[in-house]
Amino acid sequence: MQLKPINQQVVAIVGASSGIGRDTALKFARRGAKVVVAARSSSGLSSLVGEIQSFGGEATAVVADVSDFNQVKAIADKTVVQYGRLDTWVHAAATGVIARFETITPEEFQRVIDVTLMGQVYGAMVALPYLKQQGRGALIHVSSMEGRRSLPLQSPYSTAKHGLEGFLEALRVELQHEGLPISVTSILPSVINTPFYNNVRTKLGVKPTGIPPYYQPDLVSEAILYTAEHPTRDFIVGDVGRMLDLLQRFSPELLDSLLALIGFEGQRTNEPKSEVGPDNLFAPVPDHDRVEGDFGNLTIPSISDWVEMNPAIKWGALAAGMGIAAFLGAWQAQNDV
């Protein structure tokens, strides 16, 4: 499966007014792609387009709420009207409610599903016909490690991300069966320093936080750009995410116990926040139209992401590890004799 170089691509980025989506749009534009950016925040999109145009990039904005299929379809249609085609669809829009399950209303839970799961489904529905017209392309969906392992206090978000993982698995196999060279990628970030925790609704009485450590948004945007050129099934972002994935596979019960110990206090700050404080569950929060959140002091680097994007090093290290294991096995067998 061959994907176009980024500087030859037309890319739609959904959820682009802040966080991962905003940084991704800036990076695509800096590397020569034509971008269509979409979100609910008109002011956030306006500032983003202005920033892109200031360094000579090409960008068009579409204001849209992803819970509405017709508004999502308008993003894809506008992309093709403006630039003649669609090569890559990046879907990053999400919202959440951080609270104990029994305090979440049916309307709040449904809203998270509508935005964080159904918005992604709608994105694939509207992008696929245009990708098929091109005969190739990429669907890149920003999921979460909560699609692999749910967290307490985040039942709606974890439910949505688990649903997204199931949807992408089914879609990927259908496209393979049809022989269509369309890459379907799930990006699974660890805890990322974006305004997500400023924006989510919370009923904890304090501003919420992810369970540290954090990673900076550019780690995720670099993974997205990598998968836009290199067909990739799943891309876990952050060393901690890869360790979490292994632990979940090894012993979910052990992880249950660990999260019961750290998962409640670990998602609370000392900063008061009322249940009626500003959040983006039903409307955007323009004050938070930026890439980074408030937890830069808790961020760490990640080594495994760099290895993942350098296959020669990755497979060389694996081969070396297998060689060492074989040598040690032979040495042990010789000594046993």
CB 267: neighbour CB atoms within 10 A? 21
**Mind spelling out the 3-state secondary structure of 145-169?**
HHHCCCCCCCHHHHHHHHHHHHHHH
Q: What digits encode the pLDDT tens for the residues 65-101?
A: 999 999 999 999 999 999 999 999 999 999 999 999 9
The CA distance from 48 to 54, in Å, is 10
Q: What digits encode the pLDDT tens for the residues 167-203?
A: 999 999 999 999 999 999 999 999 999 999 999 999 9
Burial of residue 183 (number of CB atoms within 10 Å: 0-12, 13-18, 19+)? buried
* Predicted local confidence at residue 191, as pLDDT: 98
**Mind spelling out the 3-state secondary structure of the chain?**
CCCCCHHHCEEEEECCCCHHHHHHHHHHHHCCCEEEEEECCHHHHHHHHHHHHHCCCEEEEEECCCCCHHHHHHHHHHHHHHHCCCCEEEECCCCCEECCHHHCCHHHHHHHHHHHHHHHHHHHHHHHHHHHHHCCEEEEEECCHHHCCCCCCCHHHHHHHHHHHHHHHHHHHHHHHHCCCEEEEEEEECCECCCHHHHCEECCCEEECCCCCEECHHHHHHHHHHHHHCCCCEEEECHHHHHHHHHHHHCHHHHHHHHHHHCCHHHEEEEECCCCCCCCCCCCCHHHCCCCCCCHHHECCCCHHHHHCCHHHHHHHHHHHHHHHHHHHHHHHHHHC
* Predicted local confidence at residue 143, as pLDDT: 98
According to DSSP, the residues that pair with 139 across neighbouring strands are 89, 184
Q: Considering the entire predicted model, what is its pTM?
A: 0.92
* CA pseudo-torsion sign 277, 280, 283, 288: positive
Whether the predicted pLDDT of 337 surpasses 90: no
How is the chain split into domains, by residue range?
6-302
Q: What digits encode the pLDDT tens for the residues 115-157?
A: 999 999 999 999 999 999 999 999 999 999 999 999 999 999 9
Whether the predicted pLDDT of 336 surpasses 80: no
Topology classification of domain 6-302: Rossmann fold (3.40.50)
Which of 86, 90, 83 minimizes the C-alpha distance to 39? 90
Q: CA angle 225-229-235, nearest 5°?
A: 60
Q: What digits encode the pLDDT tens for the residues 2-54?
A: 999 999 999 999 999 999 999 999 999 999 999 999 999 999 999 999 999 99
| CB-based contact 45:243 (threshold 8 Å) | no
Joined together, the tokens standing for residue 186 give: 């799930």
Whether the predicted pLDDT of 327 surpasses 60: no
Joined together, the tokens standing for residue 304 give: 């495994």
Residues known to be catalytic? 157
The CA distance from 171 to 62, in Å, is 26
